[in-house]
Amino acid sequence: MSEKKRLGRGLGALIPEVTESSQETNEIPLDQINPNPFQPRREFDEEKLNELAASIKEHGIIQAVVVSPEGEAGGYTLVAGERRCRAARLAGLHTVPAVIRPVDRKTMLEIALIENLQREDLNPVEEALAYKRLMKEYDYTQEELAQRIGRSRPSIANSIRLLALPENVLDALYNNKMTPGQVRPLLSITNPEKQEEAARQIMQSNLSAREAEKIATEINDRGGKNKKEAQPAEEDPLQAEIQLQMQRNLGTKVKIKKGKQGGTIEIYYYGEEDLERLVAKLLPEGI
């Protein structure tokens, strides 16, 4: 089953039957419709909006938007259909066909996220921030969120992991200067400065995702060698190599400490999402 079909079914579950053509619609003045405060998109493609506006001028709005009444304050909050409303204004319309449904704030965020995911309209940073917001504000686990919006738990985890990258790298990803495939290998590098160094090299040489992986491996190898040089002569080289391999595999800092009759392994994590990612990797069958 395609990702879009799963998402479509999830949207129908969030607003029962609003996708049915038989649903009653009302012509609502655009100036009475307030934007969805949970819209995850930061920017809208102007060229695509103009194309949609031209289509609306010729054919009208085929699919009604969804709005939620604002109670005593009057007016409506837009639930689904941000692009249609923007394009309708560009087309010179004063009203749009709308399905009116009372919708709570949590569902508004879920619907806005799903609507954009259906069109693959969100860039990776917007998508990750939307996931994080749902988890933070409504206490979803990654598993619960995955079930709610029709995505796999690993895809949610991998998306959120991107937010651990330095701000400069995230800006490059947001502005389409780098792709998710190019930046994901940087997560295996634990030093933020080295991550930015690798990102610059990837962008300057326009490296592929596979080549980006090689760059990350080389940086980790250099880091491992430097550590060995700085360590005391009695340091066990096998232990140092195991530690380095564990760091690569887990994508985080690992420290092995030997004791007289055993020792400890320290695995570092940086935030709740990172902890969940590590738990999923170490306990694939679940807790």
The residues annotated as belonging to the active site are: 82
Residue 270 and residue 276 in contact, taking contact as beta carbons nearer than 8 Å = no
> Tokens representing 72?
């005593």
Handedness of CA 124, 128, 129, 133 (dihedral sign): positive
Handedness of CA 185, 187, 189, 191 (dihedral sign): positive
Half-sphere exposure of 53 (CA within 13 A, CB side): 15
At residue 97, the 3 state secondary structure works out as strand
Residue 224 and residue 242 in contact, taking contact as beta carbons nearer than 8 Å = no
Range list of β-strands (E), 6-71: 26-29, 33-34, 65-69
Residue 78 and residue 34 in contact, taking contact as beta carbons nearer than 8 Å = yes
Residue 198 and residue 219 in contact, taking contact as beta carbons nearer than 8 Å = yes
Phi-psi region of 75 (alpha: psi -120 to 50; beta: other; left: phi over 0): left
Q: Could you give the CA distance from residue 265 to residue 285 in angstroms, rounded to a whole number?
A: 22
- The pairing of beta strand 65-69 with beta strand 95-100: parallel
Q: Could you give the CA distance from residue 126 to residue 131 in angstroms, rounded to a whole number?
A: 9
